[in-house]
Structure 1
C-alpha cells in the first residue's frame, strides 16, 4: 500500500481510490493485515470492498471519513463498514494490525464507523491472526481464532472519539480554526465575523449538520485531541491545558464521562 506524506485532504468531491489487496478477496470470513508506518505518513482517501477493523498496537491513527474525523489511540480500534471512503494520518511510529471482514462476518459489527474499545483478549486474538496464513485452515486454529474474534467484536463497546465533520463552508472555517487551536477561548459570537454568518445561524447549522450544538462539538473535539496527546505520553495536566481546560478536575470529569476511563488510564 503506497503512502504519502500529504496532509489529510477534506475534498469530498474526489472519488475514493479502490485499494486492491488480497485481503479484500480471500475466501475466508476475515483476513489479518500487518503494516508498520513512520511518523507523519498518510494514506490518501480510499475505500475497501470489505469492512475493516483498524487497530494499532503502538502510535496514534487519525482517520477521516467524509462524515467525521476519528482519533484512534492504542487500546482502541476503528470499525469501518465496507466501501467507506477514508484517509489515514499517522502520529508517531504506528504498528497497524487490521482485519478485513467478509460481508457475512461483518454483520457482527456496527452499521456505522465507530471507535471500539479493544479488550486484552481481542488484542491478543488480532495479533495471533496476523501470524496465520492468508488462507488459514477453517477447521483448525485459524477458524477458532476467527470465531473468537467475531464474538469479541460483537461485545466491544463503542466510544465517542469521532468528531462529526461539518459541510457548510462557514462552519468549516470555525472547525479549522479550532482544530488548529483547540484551546482557543473564542465564543461562537467571536467566530461569527470570520465565518461570515450570525451566531444564531452558526448554532443552527452546527445542530443540523453535526447533531450537536457548538459547545458540545467543541468539547468533543477538545477531548479527542486530549486523548491523542495522552496516548503520546503527555501528562494529563499538560494535555488538559493544551486543549483549553484550566482545571484539571474539570478535565478529568469530562474525559471520564466521555470515554469511561480517567486521563491517567488513557495515558
Structure 2
C-alpha cells in the first residue's frame, strides 16, 4: 500500500491537518482522540488522504454538527491508528552536539564539513563522528540531511515555494534540493511500507 504523509499539530485551537499541497481547516474535537501531543508526521492510508481532500473542500467554519463534522471525527479516529514516520531530528543532551544543532537550526544553509564542525567544538573529526552516532544513531551527514528534511517540511507546509526552501537550506539549485527531498522521503516511505508488509 502506498503511504502518504500528513502532519498533525496540537495547538490552542485544535488539530491542524496538513497534507502535501493541501491545507485542511483546524479540527476542534469535543473529545480529542489519543493523538500525539507533539508535532509529528504520520503515515496515512489512501482512504484518509481522500477524506482529508474531501474535508478541505468544506468552509473553514463548518458547523459542529453535520457531514463535515462527522467526517472530521472519522479522520481523527483513523489517525490514531496510523504509524508515525521518523521525520524528527534526534538531538542529544550532549553540549557539543547541542551547539551544532543550535547553530544549524539558526543557519540551516551552513555547509561546513564535519571536520569544520569538529574544530568548532574542539574535537577531532573522528571523535565527533563517534559521538554523533552514539548520541543520535546517525552519521553527521545523515543527521544534517534529516535536519534539512525537517526544515523543508516545515517551510513547504507553511506555503513556502520550493525555490525559497532550497535557498534557505543552501542548495545551489532547486533540482539538488528536490533530489535530497525525494531521496529522504522515499527512504521513510520504504521503511513504513516494510513495517506494513511484515
TM class by smaller structure? 0.5 to 0.7
- Please state how far the C-alpha of 1:120 moved relative to its aligned partner: 4.0
1:121 corresponds in structure 2 to 51
Runs of 4+ in 1 over 6 A off after TM superposition: none
- Specify which structure has the higher proportion of strand: 1
Map of 2:172 onto structure 1 = 246
Equivalent in 191, 215, 220 of residue 141 of structure 2: 215
Gaps of 5+ in 2: 1-9, 187-198
SS of 2:89 mapped into structure 1: strand
Q: How far, CA to CA, are the matches of 1:151 and 1:190 in structure 2?
A: 46
Per-residue CA deviation, residues 201-224 of structure 1 (Å, 9 max, x unaligned), is: 111111111111110010111121
Aligned to 2:16: 56
Distance apart, 1:232 and its partner CA: 2.9
Q: Report SS of the residue matched to 1:255.
A: helix
Deviation at 1:114, TM superposition (A): 4.4
Structure with greater helix share of residues? 2
User: Kindly tell me: are residues 191 and 121 of structure 1, through their superposed partners in 2, closer, same or farther at Cα, counting changes over 3 Å?
Assistant: same
Measure how far apart 1:187 and its partner are. 0.8
Residue aligned with 1:56, SS: strand
1:151 aligns with 2:78: yes
Q: 1:179 to 1:113 in 2, by over 3 A?
A: closer
Give, in whole Å, the separation in 2 of the partners of 1:229 and 1:184: 17
Q: CA deviation at 1:157?
A: 5.3
SS at match of 1:116: strand
Equivalent-residue separation in structure 2 for 1:221 and 1:197 (angstroms): 22
Q: Distance in 2 between matches of 1:96 and 1:167?
A: 34
Measured against aligned partners, the alpha-carbon deviations of 1:138-175 in whole angstroms (never above 9, x if no partner) come to xxx97x97566433542x45433211112110111111
Distance 1:188 1:150, change over 3 A: same
Count of aligned residue pairs for this structure pair: 159
Q: Is contact 1:223–1:243 with CA below 8 Å preserved after alignment? A: no
Task: Give the superposed CA RMSD.
Answer: 3.6
Q: 1:152 to 1:202 in 2, by over 3 A?
A: same
Q: TM-score, normalised by structure 2?
A: 0.63
Q: Distance in 1 between matches of 2:159 and 2:73?
A: 33
Asked if 1:75 corresponds to 2:19, the answer is: yes
2:111, 2:72 → 1: CA distance?
49
Distance 1:200 1:193 in 2: 11
Identify which of 54, 64, 81 aligns with 1:131: 64
Instruction: Tell me the TM-score normalised to structure 1 length.
Output: 0.48
Whether contact under 8 Å (2:109, 2:168) holds in the other structure is: yes
